Every structure is written in C-alpha cells, then in structure tokens.
A and B are shown apart, each in its own frame.
Chain A
Amino acid sequence: GQNIDQPTEMTATEGAIVQINCTYQTSGFNGLFWYQQHAGEAPTFLSYNVLDGLEEKGRFSSFLSRSKGYSYLLLKELQMKDSASYLCAVRDGARAGGSYIPTFGRGTSLIVHP
C-alpha cells in the first residue's frame, strides 16, 4: 500500500513563512508533486521533486528526502491569496499504473490571517 500523510490544517500570518510537511511510504518512488487548490476550484500544479534537495520557484520552494520519505512545501512572504489546500501527491512505480498516475494525500488546509 501507499501512505501519504500531511497535517490537516495550518494557520499563519500574512507576511510570515510556513512549512507544510508530507511523509510517504512507497515501494518504487517515481516523483513527488505539490498542488494548490482554492475552495471550489480544481487543483493547480506548484512543484515537482524526484531527486533529493530543494527546488525553488519564487515564493514557493519544495524539498525532498527520498531516504526519509519526506517532503515539505515552503511558502514565504505569505499573502491572503495563499489561503488554500495544499496537496502532496506521489508516483509509485511499484503500484499498478503508479508510474503514470500519482496518489494524493488528504491535503493541508492553510489559513492565512491578516
């Protein structure tokens, strides 16, 4: 099986930094994605990691440690519009179809306060 764990909810203040963690268990890791989903909308792609280390994209960064089965999404200079759900998704080559289609965690609801 494949377990992907994320905190259910986090709160932060506008202008601050927040780190959203994701832990996973796979037999054939083949990439990890982060998506953002605003209420009532479809998920949109934020970042991708397949090798260990940090990927930076403007205010958003994503980190991966394959040996620890761990990733985090770092959001800097938080804005009110960053209030959304953040979904961690993992591709597992050992699972039927898993090389192509990722499995999602339950998502972390981030609330940004003024």
Chain B
Amino acid sequence: NAGVTQTPKFQVLKTGQSMTLQCAQDMNHEYMSWYRQDPGMGLRLIHYSVGAGITDQGEVPNGYNVSRSTTEDFPLRLLSAAPSQTSVYFCASSQRTGKNSPLHFGNGTRLTVT
C-alpha cells in the first residue's frame, strides 16, 4: 500500500515561475490537505478538501491554488513563485469516519525559490 505519494521530492524555481506539486493517495480518504513547514513556524494549513469537487482555504492560502477532481488526487499549484514560498510542503489525507482518524502524510516536497 503506497499511502500518500508526493512528487517531486525536491524542486528549485526562479521567482515568477509556476509549478504544480502532485499528491495522490490510495486509501480512499475523503479529507486531503496541504501544509507548509518553516523553521520555528510549525505546520501551517494552506488549503484543504473534504471530498471530490470541494476545496477551501486554510491559514496561508495566498499564492496557491488547489483542485480536487478525484478522490485520489489533490495537486497544489504555485501561480508565480516567490522567495517567501521557499519551504517544505506536506500533503496529508485522513478518513471521514472515525473521530480518531489521524492524518497520513506524504514524504514532503522541499521547494527553494531563488
């Protein structure tokens, strides 16, 4: 079972470039989310989805777009990269049923914007 798969693992962008971080899960989880992790800041929620066709903003959504056309996939798009978006990005998924359903994380994407 692959769990949550994120690609790429590493990426370097120049300011102004756009790109898509891919995230796929094979556990049939309804909930998916994107976090960024910066030193001393913990994990901050960018966008989340509670099911196919439904997305909403988290704590730090500016500069990012998401879509959820299928249950499995939840890509994160950077529209015009800025140095402030240099971070480690984690995709996570969890079940809808069961109050104690924890987040399952992908291995992360380390993004540097120069």
Contacts and interface: CB of A to CB of B under 8 A. Distances in A.
Interface string B40-52: 1111110010100
A43 B43 contact: yes
Contact of B45 (A31, A44, A103, A106): A103
A43 to B, nearest CB: 5
Interface string A79-98: 00000000101000000110
A42 B106 contact: yes
A96 B43 contact: no
A101 B58 contact: yes
B43 A104 contact: yes
B74 interface: no
Interface of B: 31, 33, 35, 40-45, 48, 50, 56, 58-59, 90, 94, 96, 99-100, 102-108
Contact of A42 (B44, B56, B108): B108
A87 B103 CA distance: 12
Pairs of residues from A and B, 5 with the lowest C-beta to C-beta distance, nearest first = A45-B102, A106-B42, A42-B105, A104-B43, A48-B100
Contact of B100 (A8, A31, A44, A89): A31
Contacts of B96: 100
Q: Is the interface of A mostly helix, strand, loop or mixed?
A: loop
A78 B39 CA distance: 25
Given A100-B31, A101-B31, A43 B105 contact: yes
B31, B41, B43, B106: residue with the most chain A Cβ atoms closer than 10 Å = B43
Given A48-B100, A106-B41, 19 more contacts: A31-B99, A33-B103, A35-B103, A42-B105, A42-B108, A43-B43, A45-B102, A50-B99, A87-B42, A97-B50, A97-B56, A97-B58, A100-B31, A100-B96, A101-B31, A101-B48, A104-B35, A104-B43, A106-B40
A18 B35 CA distance: 28
A101 B61 CA distance: 15
Given A97-B48, A104-B43, A42 B102 contact: no
Identify the interface centre among B40, B41, B42, B59: most chain A CB within 10 Å of its CB. Answer: B42
A31 B90 CA distance: 21
